[in-house]
Structure 1
Amino acid sequence: MTTPPRDAAVDLAPVPAGSVLAIRGGRPLRGRVDVKGAKNLATKAMVAALLGETTSILRDVPDISDVAVVRSLLEVHGVNVSEGDEPGSMVFDPSEVESAHFEEIDAHAGASRIPILFCGPLLHRLGQAFIPDLGGCRIGDRPIDFHLDALRKFGAVVEKQPNGIRLSAPNGLKGANIHLPYPSVGATEQVLLTAVRAEGTTELRNAAIEPEIMDLIALLQKMGAIISYEPNRVIFIEGVDELRGYDHRCIFDRNEAASWACAALATDGEIFVGGAKQQEMLTFLNVFRKAGGWFDVQEDGILFRRDTALKPVTVETDVHPGFMTDWQQPLIVALTQAKGRSIVHETVYENRFGFTDALVKMGADIEVHPHGLQNGPRRVARRELEQAAVITGPTPLRAADIVVPDLRGGYSHVIAALTAEGESQVSGVDILSRGYEKFLEKLRALGADFDVVR
């Protein structure tokens, strides 16, 4: 297949709030989509702009609702945000950072968990910070205790109040020795954003080392931070007195790239994902190939399609460099069409198989084991909260009425509807705007047959 050209005529509008899609399935998805900067980097990089004494420029920022939330939160804290010199770039001027009222923070935060990462930078700039009760996708407990414990070790005073949490740093923030109970991405970001301006050296053990974390480290180094890391999940941060702004291009969104790859697998289509890169997706690509997929790595992206009849696989989600938890949901849709018994062990979040209820309603044979499976060879150590899903196929999927539960599960529901025969009604799809830029327009470009009915 020749790499499809970019479609300059595609509309840029997000998924409208309250949208319901009428999806007519059974048609392979074919064509090209382009992915921009990773949601899991762009939003954190925007927060990092608070640490600079001069203007920062972020490039390849995705047009998603999580970015809009962070932009609003920066603006209520006095950061001037404007469009950059190229499409998808943003400029942040933090010269007039100020405290924001609780009502403003709460109104703009919505369901986002990003406000917790404002704490370190605001403590450095203002000596205080406030975060409201936090939301996010309902896929597990996701406690913020790791964040608060780390901030306390830096010297922050944490006061829990009825409407949120207030933090202060009466004696400034000092470097600390921190050992995370679990290599949490969010907690690692918290430590990085706090330690770069803390007095002294911080040693972080059991850190997350996802590509987005490495990209955030590169960005902070551009600002003047001194950060080194060792291969055993240890990161050292030497605090500095001052940081400048950055000019940085976001790493691509490997979650979105994997999602479209799974869509090609499930619908027996062929999708070129522009902007996708091999190195950050090695683990996914191995599983994709084992499941019967074929891919061609090109200079400007990766082409995905089926190679053979789909095959069953066993997958264990894990922190990087393991198989990402965000990858398993769209993969499970494809595995419903594989001949045999697939097993997905979810070891990161304790409630991430709720989306399979809709797939079962559509005809899939999926059995969820809420306490995991005890037997069989394992690479990832068992966790107390883990679950397992056993998928037996192939099972033809039939149309159904579906309510989207969360970001990745919602994407998987849409792909399941596109795989099924008949017309499905999928509601709540506006949540997909949190992580998928121009989602409906990309579906149109791939030949999906659907209408927005309201």
Structure 2
Amino acid sequence: MQKLLIKGGKKLSGEVVISGSKNASLPIIISSLLFDNPVQFENVPKVKDIYTLINLIKVLGREVEFDENKEILKISKKNKDKYFAPYSIMKTMRAGVLVLAPLLAKFGKARVSLPGGCSIGARPVNLHLDALKKLGAKINVKNGYIDASAPKGLLGANIKFSSISVGATESIIIAAVLAKGITKISNAAIEPEIIDLIKFLNKCGADIKYNSKRIIIIKGVNFLYPIRHKIIPDRIEAGTYAIAALITNGKLLIKNVNNNHLENIFSLLRKIGAKIKTFKDSFIIFRKHQLKPFKIITKPYPGFPTDMQAQFMALATQIKGSSVINEEIFENRFLHVSELMRMGADIKIKKQKATIKGIKNLNGAEVMATDLRASVSLVLAALSAKGITTINRIYHLDRGYSKLEKKLNLCGANIRRVND
């Protein structure tokens, strides 16, 4: 098992090129199961979750070519499709449950293992399953597997989610594209990654409309025409490097971004004193003075993203005064707190509320990553800490960040990846 050794205290300076969005890539790649002809995706990130999904797509009977240098992924159909997604693959990737939707839509049957992934709350799949039932699917969950069938095909329906769910919204969009009739999704998630999925499918002949009131209307079609599609930049990766610049009192030019997708992060950073200069597809970030404490509440997009909560907590440890974070998306997303406290952070938790009292310095320590975003918060904390920090279980980090230590080291960080 690998770990990172990080020597803190280095100001970051230079350029970082942001990768394609993992959270956009996963559902778009999964939707390729709807196609009879080859599809091609550009700007695909080289992260563990993508490689896991590639293995799953292969198991389901598709041929996959991934040009890592050009970040181009090609998927084509083999002679025989398969409908079984095994636990051996699904256990490491929560998004894998999305394959249920295209398998049902295209072939009328599927057997899919319940998913794994980050340990940050229940994230139940019941929203997916209940909605698929409304489209006409018959579903049975037993012994860790979802057995589903739709022998007469899926039929359009009105679906109103009891709570906003990115995964469930993606699942029903994919399922309803080839369904008979019209599907209306109310209380849908409208994250940029979902809009990218919709734009891709529409370019392929789908008929999907959406609005800012969280309504998505899908008119089923008979066939999709494959195209080339470029995945949007990863807004969470961009936000993470923005925090890296601020927490080290450095200055970074962050390239290959969509600044519109970052506005909910930029607005808070500007409010607390960060200087941000935006360009067409890049931005520069730095600070001239001490940052101000803040209060944030995580919300579905366009609210503050839960995937940036841990990074802002690391930043709060270096801001004089008390900052407050209310986590309203997941019920168990403060697992990084105890590890930050090992480095000297002053954090108090009360239910879903964290109060962080900024201190002068964190100290290097041996810590353990517990999920994807928690792991990167420890990297950020280590960059600002005195001494050397050892981060264990970095396989979480590799699930969602491409070449993290290389990108940071090119900007002046001192990070080594070693084997136990």
State the TM-score, normalized to the length of structure 1.
Answer: 0.90
1:190-234 alpha-carbon deviations (Å, 9 max, x no partner): 110000000000010000011111111000101110011132111
What is the alpha-carbon distance in structure 1 between the residues aligned to residue 32 and residue 246 of structure 2?
Answer: 39
Alpha-carbon offset, residue 438 of structure 1: 1.1
**Aligned residue identity for 2:390:** Q
1:277 aligns with 2:258: yes
Q: Which amino acid aligns with 1:41?
A: A
Once residues 258 and 288 of structure 2 are traced to their aligned partners in structure 1, the CA distance between those partners, rounded to angstroms, is 20
Q: Name structure 2 gaps, 5 residues minimum.
A: none
Alignment-derived partner of residue 413 in structure 1:
378
1:403 and 2:401 aligned: no
Q: Alignment RMSD, CA only?
A: 1.5
Alignment of 1:180-199 (within 5 A): 180-199=161-180
**Equivalent position to 1:43, from 18, 26, 37:** 26
Deviation, 1:95, is 5.1
Structure-2 residue corresponding to 1:266 = 247
Kindly provide the amino acid, as one letter, of the partner of residue 407 in structure 1: L
In 1, Cα distance between the equivalents of 2:401 and 2:316? 22
- Taking structure 2 as the reference length, the TM-score comes to 0.97
Instruction: Please give the residue correspondences for 1:136-175 in structure 2 after superposition, counting only pairs within 5 Å.
Output: 136-175=117-156
Q: Could you tell me which amino acid in structure 2 is paired with residue 320 of structure 1?
A: Y
One-letter identity of the residue aligned with 1:335 = A
Q: Which residue of 23, 34, 43 corresponds with 2:17?
A: 34
Select 1:305's aligned residue among 282, 286, 295: 286
Report the equivalent of 1:119. Answer: 100
Hey, what's the Cα distance between the residues in 2 that align with 1:155 and 1:296?
50
- State the Cα distance separating 1:163 from its structure 2 match: 3.4
Find 1:80's aligned residue among 37, 59, 63.
Answer: 63
Which residue number corresponds to residue 7 of structure 1? Answer: none
Q: What is the SS of the residue equivalent to 1:81? A: strand
Q: Which residue of 2 aligns with 1:98?
A: 81
Residue in 1 that maps onto 2:197 = 216
SS in 1 for 2:243: helix
Which position in structure 2 is the counterpart of 1:360?
341
Give the drift of 1:451. 2.5
TM-aligned CA deviation for residue 262 of structure 1:
0.7
Q: 1:119 to 1:453 in 2, by over 3 A?
A: closer
Partner SS, residue 92 of structure 1: strand
Matched, 1:453 2:418: yes
**d(CA) in 2 for partners of 1:305 and 1:94?**
48
2:359 is matched with: 394
1:443 Cα offset (Å): 2.1
1:85 is displaced (CA, Å) by: 11
State which drifts further: 393-402 or 42-51.
393-402
- Aligned-pair distance for 1:22? 1.9
2:402 and 2:113 map into 1 onto residues whose CA distance is 27
Structure 1 distance, partners of 2:315, 2:67, is 39
Matching of residue 62 in structure 1 with residue 23 in structure 2: no
Deviation for aligned residue 1:94? 2.5
Runs of 4 or more consecutive aligned structure 1 residues displaced over 2 Å after TM superposition:
83-86, 94-97, 105-110, 450-453
Q: Which residue of 2 aligns with 1:14?
A: none
Q: Report the CA distance between 1:96 and its aligned residue.
A: 3.3
Q: Secondary structure at the match of 2:216?
A: strand
SS of 2:208's partner is strand
2:111 paired residue number: 130
Letter in 2 for 1:69: T
- Partner deviation per Cα, 1:106-135 (whole Å, 9 max, x = no partner): 222231012211112111222211111311
Tell me: CA distance 1:214–1:323, structure 2 relative to 1, closer, same or farther (3 Å): same
What displacement does 1:389 show?
0.7
Shift of 1:97: 5.0
Cα deviation for residue 448 of structure 1 reads 1.2
Residue type at the aligned position of 2:365: A
Q: Return closer, same or farther for 1:79/1:453 CA change in 2, 3 Å cut-off.
A: closer
Query: Contact between 1:195 and 1:237, CA under 8 Å: does it hold in 2?
Result: yes
Equivalent pair of 1:319/1:348 in contact (CA under 8 Å)? yes
CA distance in 2, matches of 1:170, 1:237: 21
| Cα offsets for 1:332-370 (capped at 9, x unmatched) | 111111111111111101111120111112111111111
Q: Is the 8 A contact 1:38 1:253 kept in 2?
A: yes
Quick one: distance in 2 between partners of 1:245 and 1:453? 42
In the alignment, the residues of structure 2 paired with residue 357 and residue 86 of structure 1 have an alpha-carbon distance, to the nearest angstrom, of: 38
Say which SS state the counterpart of residue 348 (structure 2) adopts.
strand
Task: Provide the rounded CA distance (Å) in 2 between the counterparts of 1:19 and 1:291.
Answer: 36
Gaps of at least 5 residues in structure 1 are 1-17, 371-386
Deviations 1:318-344 (A, max 9, x none): 001000001111111111111111111
Report Cα offsets for 1:294-331 as digits up to 9, x if no partner.
Answer: 11112331111123201101111100100000111111
Q: Is the 8 A contact 1:97 1:125 kept in 2?
A: no
Aligned-pair CA distance for 1:426: 1.2
Report the Cα distance in structure 2 between the residues aligned to 1:243 and 1:96, rounded to whole angstroms: 19
**Whole-Å separation in 2 of the counterparts to 1:168 and 1:113:** 21
